Amino acid sequence: MHQIKKLRRYLKNRKKLLCAISKNSGCDKKYLEFLKSFQDIIDDEVHRAISFKEKRWSSTLSANDSNHNESAEVSTTCSDSDTSPTETNIEPDSSLEQTEFNHCFNTSSKLSSNDSKNCDNSTKRNEWNFSKLLIHQLQFEFYHFFPSILGVVFYCVAHISIYELINNVMLHSLKYKDDTNDHRFEYMCMILLGLALPRFTGGAWKWLNDDLYNGTRFEMHNRLRLGLLDAKIQLWFKKHKSFRDFVDLISVYFVYIGVVYYVCSWLFPFLCDIKGSLLQNLPSKGYGISTNATEVLKGALEDDWEKWECDPGVHVTHEDGCNMNVADFRYLYNTMSANSYDLLFGSMDVTAATIIQTVIFYLSLALISIKIVFKLNFELD
Closest CA to 199 of 244, 241, 166: 244
pLDDT score at 65: 65
Which of 322-331's residues contact partners 24+ apart within 8 Å by CB, and which partners? Answer: 324/283, 324/284, 324/287, 324/289, 324/291, 325/291, 325/292, 325/293, 327/283, 327/284, 328/282, 328/283, 328/284, 328/291, 328/292, 328/293, 328/294, 329/292, 329/293, 331/281, 331/282, 331/283, 331/293
Domain boundaries, the chain: 2-110, 155-375
Instruction: Give the pTM.
Output: 0.62
- H-type helices in 23-180, by residue range? 29-73, 76-79, 85-105, 123-140, 146-173
How far from 381 is each of 71, 203, 248, CA to CA, in Å? 73, 11, 9
pLDDT single digits (tens) 136-174: 888 889 888 998 999 999 999 999 999 988 988 888 888
Closest CA to 298 of 283, 318, 278, 317: 278
List the chain residues with pLDDT less than 70. Answer: 1, 25-26, 64-128, 176, 178-181, 303-326, 338-339, 347-353, 377-381
pLDDT score at 62: 73
pLDDT single digits (tens) 284-307: 888 888 888 887 777 777 755 444
Closest CA to 238 of 212, 271, 202: 202
pLDDT score at 14: 82
pLDDT score at 313: 46
| DSSP H or E run through 270 | helix 268-272
Judged by DSSP in three states, 39 sits in: helix
Which of 17-23's residues contact partners 24+ apart within 8 Å by CB, and which partners? Answer: none
